[in-house]
Amino acid sequence: MRKKLMLGTSAIAEGAIEAGISYAASYPGTPATQILEHIAQHSDVKAEWSVNEKVAYEVAYGVSLTGRRVLCSMKHVGLNVAADPFMTSAYLGIKGGFVLAIGDDPGAYSSQNEQDSRFYALFAKIPCFEPSDAQEAKDMTCLAFDVSEELELPVMVRSITRLLHCYSPVSLGERRSEKDLKIEKNPETMIAIPKHVIKLHKRLNEKQKKINEVIKKYKLNKIFKGNGKRGIIACGITFQYAMELEEKLPILKVSAYPIDEGLIKSFVKNLEEVIVLEEGYPLVEQITRKIHPNVKGKLSGDLPLEGELGVDPIMKMLNKTKDICISGSNEYLLPRPPVLCPGCPHREFYKSLNEAKPNFVTGDIGCYTLGVNPPLNAIDTCLCMGASISKASGIATQGVSRVAAVIGDSTFIHTGIPALINAVYNKSNILVCILDNSSVAMTGHQPTPSIGVTAKGDETKILNLEELCKACGADSVSVVDPYDKKATLEVLKEGLDKPGVNVVIAKRACILTAKKLKS
Ligand SMILES: Cc1ncc(C[n+]2csc(CCOP(=O)(O)OP(=O)(O)O)c2C)c(N)n1
């Protein structure tokens, strides 16, 4: 057995490789990005960066339809984008094992919110595994493929930044062989049209009992005996927090959902106080409150509802002096907020945009969001990926003039293109600025379709953004180098004053990528 020190992301990737996956699809997003990177760079498994999470999910679903195993990974908010195929795929079920690895980000270290994906799994009525360390992340991902095929359902493996971005030792097993290619056709179970939906939903509901049986069979939720009348229900990584406590309290370790209420009942039966630890929203606490009168957690106000939980608030709640300083204790660390790099082309673009004096600037998500910081103060709103152009259109419908939308190249391809078509179709008067730095810089310089390289490093066709915007019907499309201040200012001023949908593509490679290309 090989033992290696690895990141949680790599552990999940290795679990999938060990399970014999034939393909992996993802769209970058912290903390899940390195799952696909590991597969693409450290194995012979075919892998792709899809243009967004919905597409990644659908590509993965297609692979599963061939009877082969597939891993789809994304960050938590990516699942909002993929929610449409995700929800209905549970009704249809899967063929080859389908595992959805989700990276949640309590503490929003690199995200627009702190949503808890366990609720999505319950919403879709599929099983969700939650490892407590990298070894479990590897083992549970591998097991999730067997469970997926046993239940004919996608299985979610939910983990969080703290686990995914930490190194710990992982023992690797033998890699299993790929599944045989097997194409089946059955309209009643493979086509989600209204006349099949009720039957499909019934089938999904009937699987719920089996999900509980499978979770029991693999002993994913376990009771550890301890001393005293105070017990802990610890979900996922919080099991490690519970182990930090000096006294040996009884622990119910939760690693799989939906959680069997009967198990909680038997655990809390002789306890006077139950502490529920979970990273994310108080899901298990809510259930436990129905069962036991004395529950301490986030809903009781004993632990914070927001931010990463970590160990410190638990120690504080229990009146312990031990200060572990995992999270929140910024007094020990100098803050290091992200900033635009020296020489970043985005900064030069914003200087010109500020000079062009737009009335309102709708921002988007990427390195260029950092234009919000002083001294640039260049953005007035930021919501989610792809929203800049549609928000600008909405503002312009109310007669506000000189509205500019700022969006990166990857974000434009992700969800900006439909918004551009919408703006043209609905006769908006807006300026759309695409900041094309030829990479997905924010998440670690992954390639985009506009540079002609795949996740595996192979050459592929190049998407021409200028031609694309013209084909969408933009009234004007200009390409400028943001380092050329005079030309940039000119097209921005013109674009803000002219009616219609005017597009300015500010094109210059990210300073870090450009450096790498030169060396
Ligand atoms: C739905 C969703 N998926 C993924 C992410 C992670 N993410 C943040 S910004 C970004 C793309 C940034 O690339 P680009 O638009 O090219 O801008 P750059 O960072 O290169 O300036 C991604 C993938 C996210 N925040 N939301």
Q: What are the pLDDT digits (tens) for 425-484? A: 999 999 999 999 999 999 999 999 999 999 999 999 999 999 999 999 999 999 999 999
Nearest CA to ligand 1 atom 11: 366
Amino acid 513: pLDDT:
84
How many angstroms is it from 53 CA to the middle of ligand 1? 11
Domain 345-518 top-level CATH class: alpha beta
Dihedral angle sign, alpha carbons of residues 426, 432, 438, 443: negative
Amino acid 519: pLDDT:
52
Amino acid 246: pLDDT:
76
User: Could you tell me if the CB of 81 is within 6 A of ligand 1?
Assistant: yes
User: Could you tell me if the CB of 439 is within 6 A of ligand 1?
Assistant: yes
What's phi and psi for 134, nearest 5 deg?
-65, -35
Does residue 240 surpass a pLDDT of 90? yes
d(CA 41, CA 240) in angstroms, rounded, equals: 30
Amino acid 244: pLDDT:
84
Residues in the chain: 519
Sheet with 251-254, strands from edge to edge, namely 222-224, 251-254, 230-235, 273-277, 295-296
User: Could you tell me if the CB of 443 is within 6 A of ligand 1?
Assistant: yes
What's phi and psi for 248, nearest 5 deg?
-95, 90
For domain 2-217, give the fold: Rossmann fold (3.40.50)
Nearest CA to ligand 1 atom 24: 29
The tokens of 453 are what?
Answer: 């390289």
Closest approach atom of ligand 1 to CA 52: 3
Nearest CA to ligand 1 atom 7: 29
How many angstroms is it from 461 CA to the middle of ligand 1? 22
SS3 of 123-170: the string is HHCCCEECCCCHHHHHHHHHHHHHHHHHHCCCEEEEEEHHHHCCEEEE
d(CA 143, CA 21) in angstroms, rounded, equals: 12
Nearest CA to ligand 1 atom 21: 367
For domain 222-326, give the fold: Rossmann fold (3.40.50)
User: Could you tell me if the CB of 238 is within 6 A of ligand 1?
Assistant: no
Nearest CA to ligand 1 atom 3: 78
User: Could you tell me if the CB of 363 is within 6 A of ligand 1?
Assistant: no
d(CA 394, CA 473) in angstroms, rounded, equals: 18
Amino acid 331: pLDDT:
65
Nearest CA to ligand 1 atom 13: 440
d(CA 38, CA 42) in angstroms, rounded, equals: 5
Q: Which residues contact 371 (CB under 8 A, 6 or more apart)?
A: 340, 346, 347, 350, 363, 378, 379, 406
Q: Render the burial of 401-418: b for 16+ CB within 10 Å, e for the rest.
A: ebbbbbbbbbbbbbbbbe
Does residue 423 surpass a pLDDT of 80? yes
User: Could you tell me if the CB of 347 is within 6 A of ligand 1?
Assistant: no
Amino acid 6: pLDDT:
96
Amino acid 2: pLDDT:
87
Mutate to test the pocket of ligand 1, among 115, 161, 339, 410 (most ligand atoms within 8 A of CB): 410
Q: What integer is the mean pLDDT of 188-193?
A: 95
Q: Which residues contact 458 (CB under 8 A, 6 or more apart)?
A: none
Closest CA to 261 of 230, 294, 221: 221
Q: How far is CA 406 from CA 127, 368, 385, in A?
A: 39, 8, 11
pTM of the model: 0.96
Question: In sequence order, what are the beta bridge partners of 501?
Answer: 430
Q: What integer is the mean pLDDT of 181-210?
A: 97
Does residue 225 surpass a pLDDT of 90? yes
pLDDT tens sequence across 326-362: 555 556 777 778 889 999 999 999 999 999 999 999 9
User: Could you tell me if the CB of 468 is within 6 A of ligand 1?
Assistant: no
Q: Render the burial of 127-162: b for 16+ CB within 10 Å, e for the rest.
A: bbbbbbbbbbbbbbbbbbbbbbbbbbbbbbbbbbbb
CB 360 within 8 A of CB 383: no
Q: Which helix (H) or strand (E) holds 477?
A: strand 476-480
User: Could you tell me if the CB of 423 is within 6 A of ligand 1?
Assistant: no
User: Could you tell me if the CB of 411 is within 6 A of ligand 1?
Assistant: yes
Amino acid 156 reads M
Closest approach atom of ligand 1 to CA 435: 21
How many angstroms is it from 274 CA to the middle of ligand 1? 40
Rg, C-alpha atoms of the chain = 25
The tokens of 287 are what?
Answer: 């259930």
Amino acid 96: pLDDT:
98
Amino acid 504: pLDDT:
98
pLDDT tens sequence across 270-285: 999 999 999 999 999 9
Provide the percentage of residues in the chain whose pLDDT is more than 90. 92
Cis status, amide bond into 375, omega within 30 of 0: yes
Range(s) within the chain of domains with CATH label 3.40.50.920: 222-326
Instruction: Write down the mean pLDDT value for the chain.
Output: 95
pLDDT tens sequence across 133-179: 999 999 999 999 999 999 999 999 999 999 999 999 999 999 999 99
Name the pairing type of β-strands 167-172 and 2-7.
antiparallel
Q: Which helix (H) or strand (E) holds 290?
A: helix 283-291
User: Could you tell me if the CB of 416 is within 6 A of ligand 1?
Assistant: no
How many angstroms is it from 407 CA to the middle of ligand 1? 10
d(CA 28, CA 53) in angstroms, rounded, equals: 9
Torsion angle, CA of 143/149/151/152, rounded to 10 degrees?
Answer: 140
Amino acid 133: pLDDT:
97
Q: What integer is the mean pLDDT of 41-60?
A: 98
Nearest CA to ligand 1 atom 12: 366
d(CA 3, CA 172) in angstroms, rounded, equals: 6
Closest approach atom of ligand 1 to CA 409: 16
Name the pairing type of β-strands 273-277 and 230-235.
parallel
Q: Render the burial of 318-335: b for 16+ CB within 10 Å, e for the rest.
A: eebeeeeeebeeeeeeee
Does residue 499 surpass a pLDDT of 60? yes
The three-class DSSP label of residue 410 is helix
User: Could you tell me if the CB of 345 is within 6 A of ligand 1?
Assistant: no
Range(s) within the chain of domains with CATH label 3.40.50.970: 2-217, 345-518
Provide the percentage of residues in the chain whose pLDDT is more than 70. 97
Q: What integer is the mean pLDDT of 365-385?
A: 96
Which conformational region is residue 202 in: left (phi greater than 0), alpha (psi within -120 to 50 degrees), or beta? alpha
Dihedral angle sign, alpha carbons of residues 510, 513, 516, 518: negative
Mutate to test the pocket of ligand 1, among 105, 440, 450 (most ligand atoms within 8 A of CB): 440
The three-class DSSP label of residue 306 is coil
